[in-house]
Chain A
Amino acid sequence: MTEARYPQCRIVPLRILGPDTAERLLNAVAGISGIRRLMINGPSLPATVPYGPARGKPNPNTNRRTITVGDTEVELRVQVGMLTAEVTDASVIAQIRRACDDIFTKFSYQLQEGQFMKTQATLTDYAKYGPDVDETFIGLVDPRRKETPVILQGLH
C-alpha cells in the first residue's frame, strides 16, 4: 500500500455523456499535467445482449465506439457518467474545474473532492493480480474483466 495519498476529484455531469462529449472531456482533462490516474464510470454497453430472450445477439449501439484521447485509442465499454481523477496536488483540481466549465455549457456538473479510488488490494484483486501487484493499477478496472487499464500517450 502506498503511504502517500494524492488528492482525488470526481466530475459528475447532470446528464450521461455521449461519446463525442466524453472524448472532448477526456482530452481536456487528460491534457492537464499533474494527473496520475483517471477512471471512467457509467452504465455498461455490452457488445452482445447479456440476458433475456435475445441473449447472445449483437447489440449495435451508437454510444459504444472507440474514442481517441491524445494519441491513444480508448474503446468505450460504458456510457460515461462519471470521471474520477487522481492528481498530484490541489492546484490541478482547479485546472480541471476550468476545463469542465468550458465543456459543460448546456447542462451543469458537479466537481467533488474526496477519496474515490481503492487504497489497498481487496481479496478479489489478490485473486486476480497476486501478491506483487502494482498499486497504481488497483481499482482501475473491474476485476472480472480481462482488459488492462489504458496507458494514455501523446498528451504532454
Chain B
Amino acid sequence: MAYTPQYGPGTSIVAENRRNQMNPNHDLEKIRDVTDEDIVMVLGHRAPGSAYPTAHPPLAEQQEPDCPMRKLVTPTEGAKAGDRVRYVQFADSMFNAPSQPYQRTYAEMYRFRGIDPGTLSGRQIVECRERDLEQYAKLLVETEMFDPALVSMRGATVHGHSLRLSEDGMQFDMLQRCVLSDDGVVKYVKDQIGVPLDREVAVGKPMDEEWLKAHSTIFHSLVGTAYRDDKEYVEYIVRVHTLRTKYGFMPKEE
C-alpha cells in the first residue's frame, strides 16, 4: 500500500489549513497579483532587470567531480546558473496571520527545492539561489499564505509579531516598510531591509477578519480558534510530551 502522509493531527480549521499549506498536491489559492519586478524591488538584492550576479560559473561550464549524489540530484535553475544565495524573511503576526514561522518552514520543505530555512519565534527566513528565491517569494506573496496587513517581508528589524496591531489593523513595524494607503491598498515604500524604494509596490488589500479566521494557521483563544477546542491536537501533543518525558524510562504505550 502506498504511503500517504498525514502532515499533522487535528480536526479544527487551523489544523486543516496547516495540512493544506504543507501538502504539495494541494493548490494554494491565488489571491493577488504581484509582478516579478515588484518582488525583486521589495527583496532588494538586485536592481530590477539587471543580470543575476553569480557565485560560480554555470554548472555546464565547469568540470564536475565524479560524485554519485550529483548524478542523483537535479540542480535547480539557480544552482545550474551559479546564482548567489539570497534570502527572503517574513514576519507573521500572532493575530491570525495566515502562516506562521514553523508552518512556513514545514510548507516550504514540502513544496520547494534547494532551500535553507531558518525558523524563529516571530520570523522565518529562507535562503536559496536568487532566481529560485524570486519564484518562491512570488508564490508566498500571491497566495493564501500572505496577508498584506498581518504578514510582511522584513530582512532586519522585524519586531512586531507579538504586539497589538496598529489602529489601522497593520502589524507594527518600526521601519514602516508598508503603509495602508487611503484607497485601502497596502503599499511597500521600503525594501526588506528598510531602504526607500523608487516607487511604491502595491500588494493588495488586507483580508477581512472572517477570511483570516478561516485561513489562519495559529491557534488563538481570543481572536481565533482555541487550541483546547481541537481535542485531537491536544491528545497528540499530550502523547508526544508523555513519551518524551518517559523516554529515559523505556516507554511502553498502554
Contact = CB atoms under 8 A, between A and B. Distances in A.
Interface of A: 13-18, 21, 43-46, 49-54, 57, 59-63, 79, 81, 106-107
Given A43-B159, A62-B179, A57 B194 contact: yes
28 contacts: A13-B164, A15-B165, A15-B167, A16-B163, A16-B164, A16-B165, A16-B166, A16-B172, A17-B167, A18-B167, A18-B168, A43-B159, A43-B174, A45-B174, A49-B157, A49-B175, A50-B174, A52-B155, A52-B193, A53-B155, A54-B195, A57-B195, A60-B176, A61-B174, A61-B175, A61-B176, A63-B176, A106-B167
B157 A51 contact: yes
A96 to B, nearest CB: 20
Contacts of A79: 166, 172
Nearest to B158: A52
Contacts, number: 65
Nearest to A19: B167
A16 B176 CA distance: 14
A85 B24 CA distance: 54
B208 to A, nearest CB: 16
B194 A54 contact: yes
Q: Contact residue range for chain B?
A: 20 to 34
B157 A18 contact: no
A105 to B, nearest CB: 12
Interface of B: 155-157, 159-160, 163-168, 172, 174-176, 179, 193-196
B212 to A, nearest CB: 16
A54 B175 CA distance: 10
Contact of A16 (B155, B167, B194, B195): B167
A50 B164 CA distance: 22
A135 B132 CA distance: 60
Contacts of A13: 164
A43 B166 contact: no
A49 to B, nearest CB: 5
Given A21-B167, A59-B175, 19 more contacts: A16-B165, A17-B167, A43-B160, A43-B172, A50-B157, A52-B155, A53-B156, A53-B193, A54-B194, A57-B194, A57-B195, A59-B174, A60-B176, A60-B196, A61-B174, A61-B176, A63-B176, A79-B166, A107-B167
